[in-house]
Chains A and B, each alone.
Chain A
Amino acid sequence: MRLHFAVGAFIFFCSALPAHGAGFDSARHDMVQEVVADTADTAAYTGISALSPQVVAAMEKVERHRFLPFGMSSLAYLNRPLPIGHGQTISQPFIVALMSELMKVKPGDKVLEIGTGSGYQAAILAELTGSVYSIEIIEALGTEAGERLQELGYRNVHTKVGDGYYGWPEAAPFDAIMVTAAASHVPPPLIKQLKPGGRMVIPLGTQFMTQSLMLVEKQADGSVTSRQILPVSFVPLTGGH
């Protein structure tokens, strides 16, 4: 396992092309421009006509290369998911942007994330609001992500390692919840911890492949509605009826 990553890291290291300091900044800017363009392309399908300036600013600011395992920095600004060890991935930036947009986070909102992973998504959320709570079930990943976020100065992100099923009752309710950990169902306690009017975003699919994004909205009366968004401009039907 370790050797896997050593070899992988070595290959990636060898293929490292650009990317130090200013190189990263411009690569990141290019990536964000690509994500912005992709969002416009898929507007008809996602219902998101354009990314909000806040999300764009967050994507421009958060240094994705700092969330990757050693040796993979050179791939940080490709618009693709990347492995981060333990069979987990850091999502494709395009998907991260869409999910962040769907959350409609406002400054002052309290946000919960289930599945910290590398901490990249938490950092983006932390750029959008003052308090982010994030839970990771894989100990090594959670600890590392927590330390990384602290190092990077995200004092407004609270992380812990543990079971995300019951959310974070001490901090509940939340304005928005993101569930990036694979689960066979949406935990009822999480729906409970969502404020009326709150939004929950759940990417469905598997590592490297986000099939759709589910948006769950809690109405004022406590009932929930959901929407499943295909993050791609692809029409499966060709007028067969």
Chain B
Amino acid sequence: MRFAQRFLAPLSRSREISSDLAAVFRRPSRLASRSIRAGEREGRPPFFAISLLSTCVLAYEVLLTRLFSIELWHHFAYMIISAAMLGYGASGTLLTLLREKFLPRFGVVYVASAASLTLLMPVAFWLSQQIPFNPLELLWDPTQPFRLLAVYLLMMLPFFCGGLGIGLVFAYWGQQASRVYAYDILGAGVGSMMVIAVLFFISPARLLTVLSALALLAAAIAVIETRLRPRWLMELFLGLAVLALVLPAMSVHPSPYKDLSQALDIAGAQVVEERSSPLGEVTVVKNTRVPLRDAPGMSLNATTEPPAQLAVYVDGNGPSALTRFDGDLAPLAYLDQLTSALPYHLLEKPRVLVLGAGAGSDVLQALYHGSATIDAVELDPNVIALVRQRFRDYAGNLYDRPDVHAHEAEARGFVNASRERYDLIELALMDSFGTASAGLYGLSENYLYTVEATQAYLQRLEPGGMLAVTRWLTLPPRDALKLFATAIRALERSGVAAPGARLAMIRGWKTVTLLVKGSDFTARDVAELKAFCRARSFDLAWYPGMQASEANRYNQLARPYFFEGAIALLGPQRQEFMDRYKFYIEPATDDRPHFFRFFKWDAAAEMLSLRARGGMPLLDWSYPLLVATLLQAIAASALLILAPLAFSRCRRTLPHAPEAWYFLSIGLGFMFMEIAFIQKFVLFLSHPLYAVAVVLCAFLAFAGIGGWLAGRTQAANKVTLAVAAMVAISLGYLAFMPALFQALTHLPDVVKVIVSILLIAPLALCMGVPFPSGMARLSVSRRDAIPWAWAINGFASVVGAVLATLLAIHLGFSAVILLALLVYASAGIALGRFA
């Protein structure tokens, strides 16, 4: 549960404050009187300082997801949220234990924690970059998990300082908690949303220094607000803030194994353009000595070469080629030698929609094959701007040709909103081969390859039109079979009785292309398809009526894996085949959109045993990483949040089982909801960063308000009511949210952000109720167990963030939400059994 809420909770009713806080610290009478005196303190709480501090902490939390995307391959949102919770939890424990030392020195400790936050935000990130953590080596090198742990603990430190500062204000200014809380929430909300706005103008690395400057400003304001002496401290902090702003931004070092790092190491590489936005860092690399020649999986029979190209990287991943084009189609002949050229041989002058157009390779392919019109959809405006403005002449004015229409939009949103119909919808190969073959996206949500997405694409086809999806070839087959299974399910759901008649799949040595047709493939289609493959030595993996003898002819595998897989998936034993297959190839859905997750526990032991015997590529690193993160979250939070209490005087005041369960389950329930909603809203808000920022902000703010409201009502059954409302709202969302997202997905981003916040608000309001209500109950029955309630809840939050991600991958978001409801319901029962 969010930190501020946890602190507000026991403080929300002024009458309860003294008793609650007194209970925390074993010497009730003395502390009670001290807390009562809090109401009589001179001056006012450091409202502005706490607001700024909250801004910094939340902005930092969201910013880290960007920084990790640049440094590594994944946004690691779950790990960062978990680290933040650990920092908050550990600072809460420290505050519990050292309260008597801290409160008399409120100003000093508060300013010190703000100043430490300033220092630690850049320093912790810098240090974490110095740790040679390489996820690719996770399974080779036994020291890697320790390096991961070090990164995690470093990430925790700034949140520890921020948490200490904020918690201290609540503890010291208990009487005015609700006003303190309002400023705190305001700051936090501004922080998480500000990140997105500011990232349009400055780079993430620069934002890190800006946040440091802001934290220094918070410290300077705190000096004034707490009337701390000496006053020159304020001038010092202000001076340092200015210094932080003028100092050069810290450089973010991407992993040397990322595509961009590798490209820059090549002799002659030169960065010719860099652009930054919340969607990613776009880098364009030119190399005249060793030019980029991007022709993914080109036929071995081809004698053509790609023309000059620039390499475009987003967050260091790629490249996507920006090909020199002067209107002459002849140099583009290489584009006819890729598996993705197949649909153009079955269609006459098609009207084409390219999803994920990037810098335009697939658009050029469509042009080369005489397409009538091309709609090119690309998410990142910076990438479109490269083709339209900066490299307009180089790209031959590609995105402003009369027959090409470039759209800045998210693919699913565009397809849902579009009323157009197309002869061909092409889903471009957007990730790089390296990341695909190393399983780097195993944890990522991807809403482009789900059953629902496929259905949506099919709905936009003209009669006889087709969807073409090209993926990297992985061996043993994974992506291709999962894609095939996804298409089958989408066709079945659309009412097609014999899906096999509408599917065709071919493979080269490096890519696989799947065609899904809006009607049955004709004999002419099949003849063209065979001729296309024969000329390029591509293998047939499936077409309606295919014989086994036609498979596995050119690029020979030990067995005709792809054809056999296709047959099995189309046959009556499909489910059995998928169950037995050693990779997870069940179709991805919007509820479980982890298309790149192929990990199965059943096969893990065998794969691990084959590790040294060439078996390493069978295991995606992302999944073991998630498990490692979960284990370290458990260990670290037990050690830093629970253990200190167990060794303090609190060891004699252990809570009873129902009390412990209550605070454990509402912590887990809260994180389950929050993480599930973040991942669910990636579809609606189009990007993980937007989802993290908006969902965090909404949950934090409205849970806080919910907690505050709970404090104002005397109703005995408020937890029961809140849980019942939660159940009703959640079930409603589970039923209607997909349709709602579909209907609203074409709206402008700002409107979608507001809709998201409105959707989350009622649920979060209810979720804010149980914590303060439980605390209030405890303060009556078992005051001295309150520190444990905090700590257990903190522990649950740390673990819950990671556990929710793991559960979502296996069970889906709906199941995680249902689980959260179940856990909340059990908490409701446990509350009735409090001593």
Q: Which of A35-73 contact B (CB under 8 A)?
A: 38, 41-42, 45
B131 to chain A: closest CB distance in Å?
7
How distant is the Cα of A226 from the Cα of B508 in the complex, in angstroms? Answer: 10
Residue of A nearest to B261 (CB): A87
Judge whether A22 is part of the interface by a CB distance below 8 angstroms.
Answer: no
* Among B267, B433, B568, contact of A138 (Cβ-Cβ < 8 Å): B267
Residue of A nearest to B146 (CB): A11
Known: A232-B615, A233-B613. A184 touches B298 (CB 8 A): yes
Residue of B nearest to A95 (CB): B614
* Contacting pair B302 A188 (CB below 8 A): yes
* Contacting pair B140 A241 (CB below 8 A): no
B358 to chain A: closest CB distance in Å?
14
Judge whether B564 is part of the interface by a CB distance below 8 angstroms.
Answer: yes
Set of chain A residues within 8 Å of B303, measured between Cβ atoms: 188
Report the stretch among A118-126, A145-153, A206-214 that lies at the interface.
Answer: A206-214
Judge whether B228 is part of the interface by a CB distance below 8 angstroms.
Answer: no
How distant is the Cα of A4 from the Cα of B289 in the complex, in angstroms? Answer: 28
Q: Which of B389-404 contact A (CB under 8 A)?
A: none
* Contacting pair A139 B554 (CB below 8 A): no
Mark contacts of B772-814 with chain A using CB atoms, 8 A cut-off: 1 yes-contact digit, 0 otherwise. 0000000000000000000000000000000000000000000
* Contacting pair A137 B267 (CB below 8 A): yes
* Among B298, B556, B614, contact of A186 (Cβ-Cβ < 8 Å): B298
Q: Which of B241-277 contact A (CB under 8 A)?
A: 253, 255-258, 261-262, 265-267
How distant is the Cα of A158 from the Cα of B171 in the complex, in angstroms? Answer: 73
Mark contacts of B610-621 with chain A using CB atoms, 8 A cut-off: 1 yes-contact digit, 0 otherwise. 101111111000
Judge whether A161 is part of the interface by a CB distance below 8 angstroms.
Answer: yes
* Among A204, A206, A233, A240, contact of B581 (Cβ-Cβ < 8 Å): A240
The count of residues in chain A whose C-beta lies closer than 8 Å to any C-beta of chain B is 70
Of the candidates B143, B304, B613, the one having the most CB atoms from chain A within 10 angstroms of its own CB is B613
Residue of B nearest to A186 (CB): B300
* Contacting pair B134 A237 (CB below 8 A): no
* Among B302, B438, B558, contact of A230 (Cβ-Cβ < 8 Å): B558
* Among A92, A185, A237, contact of B559 (Cβ-Cβ < 8 Å): A237
Report the stretch among A75-83, A105-113, A168-176 that lies at the interface.
Answer: A75-83
A42 to chain B: closest CB distance in Å?
6
Judge whether A191 is part of the interface by a CB distance below 8 angstroms.
Answer: yes
How distant is the Cα of A233 from the Cα of B610 in the complex, in angstroms? Answer: 8
* Contacting pair B477 A236 (CB below 8 A): yes
* Contacting pair A184 B433 (CB below 8 A): yes
Mark contacts of B358-374 with chain A using CB atoms, 8 A cut-off: 1 yes-contact digit, 0 otherwise. 00000000000000000
Judge whether B381 is part of the interface by a CB distance below 8 angstroms.
Answer: no
* Among A3, A8, A137, A209, contact of B136 (Cβ-Cβ < 8 Å): A209
Set of chain B residues within 8 Å of A80, measured between Cβ atoms: 140, 612
* Contacting pair B476 A230 (CB below 8 A): yes
* Contacting pair B580 A225 (CB below 8 A): no
* Contacting pair A240 B573 (CB below 8 A): yes
* Contacting pair A216 B300 (CB below 8 A): yes
Residue of B nearest to A229 (CB): B558
* Contacting pair A224 B301 (CB below 8 A): yes
Set of chain A residues within 8 Å of B557, measured between Cβ atoms: 227-228, 230
Set of chain A residues within 8 Å of B543, measured between Cβ atoms: none
Known: A81-B140, A188-B304, A226-B556. A237 touches B616 (CB 8 A): no
* Among A205, A226, A240, contact of B580 (Cβ-Cβ < 8 Å): A240
How distant is the Cα of A42 from the Cα of B610 in the complex, in angstroms? Answer: 10
Set of chain A residues within 8 Å of B612, measured between Cβ atoms: 34, 38, 79-80, 92, 94
* Contacting pair A226 B607 (CB below 8 A): no
B408 to chain A: closest CB distance in Å?
27
Known: A184-B293, A184-B296. A228 touches B617 (CB 8 A): no
Residue of B nearest to A15 (CB): B143
A152 to chain B: closest CB distance in Å?
24
* Among A5, A83, A208, A228, contact of B616 (Cβ-Cβ < 8 Å): A208
A223 to chain B: closest CB distance in Å?
8
How distant is the Cα of A137 from the Cα of B261 in the complex, in angstroms? Answer: 14
How distant is the Cα of A165 from the Cα of B289 in the complex, in angstroms? Answer: 11
* Contacting pair A191 B300 (CB below 8 A): yes
Mark contacts of B473-494 with chain A using CB atoms, 8 A cut-off: 1 yes-contact digit, 0 otherwise. 0111100000000000000000
Of the candidates B537, B558, B565, B578, the one having the most CB atoms from chain A within 10 angstroms of its own CB is B558
Residue of B nearest to A38 (CB): B613
How distant is the Cα of A137 from the Cα of B257 in the complex, in angstroms? Answer: 16
Judge whether B555 is part of the interface by a CB distance below 8 angstroms.
Answer: yes
Known: A212-B475, A226-B555. A185 touches B130 (CB 8 A): no
Known: A188-B304, A230-B558. A224 touches B614 (CB 8 A): no
Judge whether B327 is part of the interface by a CB distance below 8 angstroms.
Answer: no
Q: Which of B317-375 contact A (CB under 8 A)?
A: none
Q: Which of B692-719 contact A (CB under 8 A)?
A: none
Set of chain A residues within 8 Å of B261, measured between Cβ atoms: 87
Known: A92-B614, A188-B304, A239-B580. A209 touches B293 (CB 8 A): no
A101 to chain B: closest CB distance in Å?
13
* Among A41, A81, A85, A204, contact of B510 (Cβ-Cβ < 8 Å): A204
* Contacting pair B131 A207 (CB below 8 A): no
* Contacting pair B266 A137 (CB below 8 A): yes
How distant is the Cα of A115 from the Cα of B258 in the complex, in angstroms? Answer: 18
Known: A138-B266, A234-B610. A241 touches B577 (CB 8 A): yes
* Contacting pair B614 A87 (CB below 8 A): no
Set of chain B residues within 8 Å of A161, measured between Cβ atoms: 267
* Contacting pair A188 B305 (CB below 8 A): yes
Residue of B nearest to A85 (CB): B256
* Contacting pair B565 A237 (CB below 8 A): yes
* Among B134, B143, B434, B510, contact of A185 (Cβ-Cβ < 8 Å): B510
Set of chain B residues within 8 Å of A236, measured between Cβ atoms: 476-477, 561, 581-583
How distant is the Cα of A182 from the Cα of B258 in the complex, in angstroms? Answer: 13
Q: Which of B294-313 contact A (CB under 8 A)?
A: 294-298, 300-305
B185 to chain A: closest CB distance in Å?
40
Set of chain A residues within 8 Å of B537, measured between Cβ atoms: 224-226
Judge whether B186 is part of the interface by a CB distance below 8 angstroms.
Answer: no
Residue of A nearest to B143 (CB): A11
* Contacting pair A228 B580 (CB below 8 A): no
* Contacting pair B581 A237 (CB below 8 A): yes
| 27 residue pairs from A and B, CB less than 8 Å apart | A83-B137, A86-B256, A87-B257, A87-B261, A92-B612, A138-B265, A139-B267, A162-B267, A182-B262, A184-B433, A185-B296, A204-B437, A206-B437, A207-B257, A208-B438, A209-B616, A210-B614, A214-B555, A223-B301, A224-B300, A224-B301, A228-B556, A231-B614, A232-B614, A237-B565, A240-B580, A241-B571
- B residues contacting A by CB (< 8 A) are 130-132, 134, 136-137, 140, 143, 253, 255-258, 261-262, 265-267, 289-291, 293-298, 300-305, 433-435, 437-438, 474-477, 509-510, 537, 554-559, 561, 564-565, 567-568, 571, 573, 576-578, 580-583, 606-607, 610, 612-618
Supplied contacts A163-B291, A230-B558, 6 more A-B pairs, CB within 8 Å? A3-B130, A4-B130, A87-B255, A162-B289, A185-B302, A206-B435
Q: Which 10 A-B pairs have the closest CB atoms?
A: A240-B577, A236-B476, A87-B256, A185-B298, A231-B614, A232-B614, A241-B568, A206-B434, A209-B617, A238-B580
- A residues contacting B by CB (< 8 A) are 1, 3-5, 7-8, 11, 15, 34, 38, 41-42, 45, 79-81, 83, 85-87, 92, 94-95, 98, 137-140, 161-163, 165, 182-188, 191, 204-212, 214, 216, 223-241
